[in-house]
Amino acid sequence: MRLIDADLVAQSLEPLTLVEALREAHRQGGMGEVERLLVEAPGTADAALTWLAFHPRRGVAVKTATVFPGNSRSGFGPNVQSVVALFDAAHGRPLAAIHGESFTRMKTAADSALGADLLARRDAATLAVLGAGGQARTQVQFHRAVRPALRRVLIWNRTAEGGKRLAAELRAEGIDAKAVPDAEAAAREADIVSCLTASPDPVLRGRWLKPGAHVDLVGGFTREMRESDDDVMRRGRLFADSLRFTLAVCGDYATPIAEGVIAKEAVEGDLFDLCSGRIVGRRSDEDITVFKNGGGGHLDLSVARAIWDLCDAASPGVIRCPPVP
């Protein structure tokens, strides 16, 4: 069994490695058995989320993530932290425990990047990031990996200081990045809009989107969270990473479906459909495409397996543990 530090692995892992691992897993078809458990602390925004996935070829993964939104503001570390236990498919043998905030960040970004690669315009040049929290920098990295033409990044954040800080970090890496004072200013210019806010109220308005834009909805993971308004749903061609979970538990789709704004059938398909070629993604340069990144244990399993396959005893971030009796 191995103990893998995802933060160290992230320093050298190419984003496309994980994007292609997810693409191949979806091409193979079959989510396997997946369960989700969400526990929220009464009277707070703190939560714990556990995903369990069992696939006959890829194995078993159990990930528990804690979401404590006040951590970054109070100086107690990252808002999202997780541990993943990975087991093999043949005998249920423990293979690895993977820790570090980078695991969920990389999995989330790879999910969105695969969606963008299937749906965004090839010549997309401007990325708008709404929300400058811990996920944002990895999201920029992975989107730019699948769309190298993305040369400019516009950042809006609830607090201006957070947006300016992220913009400065990206500029230090040679990226043309700028913090803007409002979300509309960022979205109107963007070819890809990535929402990373976990907001209960829409931060993105459909009327701001230009023809050909691609929307990446990431932050909302409960029915009470919603980053986009009804006009985004009406104007866009809608897709999800997983129809099975996203339509039921994520407010960006669940709420407008429940309120009759859109029919359930308005969501055309998911990554399994897109990667297999059962449905067509972008049809024209004028399409507005919307991808809801809802996450899921099947994604954690695929990413954990890809990281384990790449690691050996000499790899950065890997410690070989004693055999399990």
Of 1-5, 168-172, 217-221, minimum mean pLDDT range: 1-5
Binning pLDDT at 50, 70 and 90, where does residue 325 land? Answer: very low
Binning pLDDT at 50, 70 and 90, where does residue 324 land? Answer: very low
CB 275 within 8 A of CB 26: yes
| Whether 304 and 284 share a structural domain | no
Query: Is residue 83 classed exposed, middle or buried when 0-12, 13-18 and 19+ CB atoms within 10 A define those classes?
Result: middle
pLDDT tens per residue, range 42-100: 988 899 999 999 999 999 999 998 988 888 777 777 788 889 999 999 999 999 999 98
Residue 277 in domain: yes
Residue 70 in domain: yes
| Whether 164 and 308 share a structural domain | no
| Whether 238 and 304 share a structural domain | no
| Whether 168 and 74 share a structural domain | no
| Whether 76 and 165 share a structural domain | no
Instruction: Give the pLDDT of residue 245.
Output: 85
Token pair, residue 180, equals 């803007």
Beta bridge partners of 60: 54, 87
| CATH code assigned at 189 | 3.40.50.720
Q: Average pLDDT of 268-297? A: 96
Residue 113 in domain: no
Domain range for 32: 2-104+298-320
Residue 92 in domain: yes
C-alpha–C-alpha distance, residues 44 and 42, integer Å: 6
Number of domains in the chain: 2
C-alpha–C-alpha distance, residues 12 and 84, integer Å: 20
pLDDT of 19 strictly over 80: yes
pLDDT of 221 strictly over 90: no
pLDDT of 313 strictly over 90: no
| Whether 203 and 263 share a structural domain | yes
Residue 110 in domain: no
pLDDT tens per residue, range 238-274: 999 999 889 988 999 999 999 999 999 999 999 999 9
Instruction: Share the mean pLDDT of the chain.
Output: 92
pTM summary value? 0.91
| Whether 261 and 125 share a structural domain | yes
Percent of the chain with pLDDT over 90: 80
| Whether 168 and 272 share a structural domain | yes
Instruction: Give the pLDDT of residue 30.
Output: 83
| Whether 149 and 285 share a structural domain | yes
Helices (H), the chain: 6-10, 15-28, 71-74, 102-119, 136-146, 160-172, 183-189, 230-235, 243-249, 251-258, 271-276, 297-310
Residue 143 in domain: yes
Strands of the 318-320 sheet, one edge to the other: 33-40, 47-55, 59-67, 80-87, 94-99, 2-5, 318-320
CB 127 within 8 A of CB 149: no
| Whether 96 and 140 share a structural domain | no
Instruction: Give the pLDDT of residue 312.
Output: 62
Instruction: Give the pLDDT of residue 319.
Output: 59
| Whether 214 and 281 share a structural domain | yes
SS3 content of the chain, % helix, strand, coil (to 5): 35, 25, 40
| CATH code assigned at 91 | 3.30.1780.10
Residue 325 in domain: no
Binning pLDDT at 50, 70 and 90, where does residue 314 land? Answer: low
Residue 114 in domain: no
Q: Decide which of 272 and 318 is more confident.
A: 272
pLDDT of 307 strictly over 80: yes
Length of the chain: 325
Binning pLDDT at 50, 70 and 90, where does residue 198 land? Answer: confident
| Whether 231 and 310 share a structural domain | no
